[in-house]
Structure 1
Amino acid sequence: MYRLVYISTPKQDISRVEVASILRAGRKNNVKNGITGLLIQDRRRFLQYLEGEQTDVEQTFARISNDRRHSAIIPLKSGYIGRRQFPKWEMASKYVDAETDLLPVVRELVRDCDRDVASELMSFAEARDRAA
């Protein structure tokens, strides 16, 4: 199983309607391509975790990278893992207000993940919370 984690910055005027549209399209494409994962968002950034066959994940990331609704796309981690971490989620999504701590939200989302994956995602949440 291959995974890719990245952050990006949404355009300043992105609306919740546009984010909902992104999620609908993403879920549809993910089902078709056998991809699962999660998307965590606040007004300043997206954090997305994608998992599936390497070719499918990389093609999905290429499409995302060309989407003009966000910029500053930075891959954080990629590589092979032993199993799907989010097998039931075509794309779980959680919106967090910019003022809300992200760590408790991520801790809940990753409770069934392997320890190293959970640790990586919680480390990002901790860094975001310190910077906020």
Structure 2
Amino acid sequence: MYRLVYISTPKRALGSDELLTILAAATKNNRRNEITGILIQDHKRFLQYLEGSEDKVEETFARISADPRHFAISRLKSGSIERRQFPGWSMASKTVDQCNSLRDAVSELVKDCDRDVAAELLSFAEARDRAG
């Protein structure tokens, strides 16, 4: 099993309808490619965790990287993992209100993850919260 975590910045604020369209396409594509994961959006950044076969995850990341709706795409982590962390979610999603922290949203989604994966995702979220 392979995982990839990245963060990116939308070029403009996305409306809820546009975000739902993105999520619907991601869910469809991820089911087809047997990819699971999460997408968290705080109106300033996207934090996404993808898992599946290495070739399918890397193909998905290449497609995402070419999407003109966002920039400053940074791969935070990639590599092998022992098991799926989000087996029931072809794409779980959480939008964080401006008054809430990204860490709180991530904390909610990683409660069933391996301890090291949860700590890693929480650390990324905490760093983003500090950066404001």
The normalised TM-score by structure 2 is 0.96
**Unaligned ranges ≥5, structure 1:** none
CA offsets, 1:45-90, max 9 Å, x none? Answer: 0000000000000000011011111111100000000000000000
What is the aligned length? Answer: 132
Verify the 8 A CA contact 1:7 1:76 in the aligned structure 2. yes
Structure 1 residue runs of 4 or more that deviate by more than 6 Å after TM superposition: none
SS of 1:98's equivalent?
A: coil
Q: CA RMSD in A?
A: 0.9
Specify the alignment match of 2:119 in structure 1.
119
Q: 1:71 to 1:114 in 2, by over 3 A?
A: same
2:14 paired residue number: 14
Please say if residues 39 and 47 of structure 2, whose CA atoms lie closer than 8 Å, have aligned partners that are also in contact: yes
Percent identity between matched residues is: 66
SS in 2 for 1:76: strand
Q: Which residue pairs with 1:110 in the alignment?
A: 110
* CA deviation after TM superposition for structure 1 residue 100, in Å: 1.0
Amino acid at match of 1:113: C
CA–CA distance in structure 2, aligned partners of residues 99 and 129 of structure 1: 11
Q: Secondary structure at 1:93's aligned position in 2?
A: strand
Deviation of 1:125 (Å): 1.2
The whole-number CA distance in structure 2 between the counterparts of 1:12 and 1:48 is 18
TM-score by length of 1: 0.96
1:70 pairs with 2:87: no
Verify the 8 A CA contact 1:44 1:98 in the aligned structure 2. no
Tell me by how many angstroms 1:9 deviates: 0.4
Q: Secondary structure at the match of 1:4?
A: strand
Q: Contact 2:42/2:102 (CA < 8 Å) preserved in 1?
A: no
C-alpha distance in 2 between matches for 1:106 and 1:14: 20
Corresponding position: 1:35 with 2:27: no
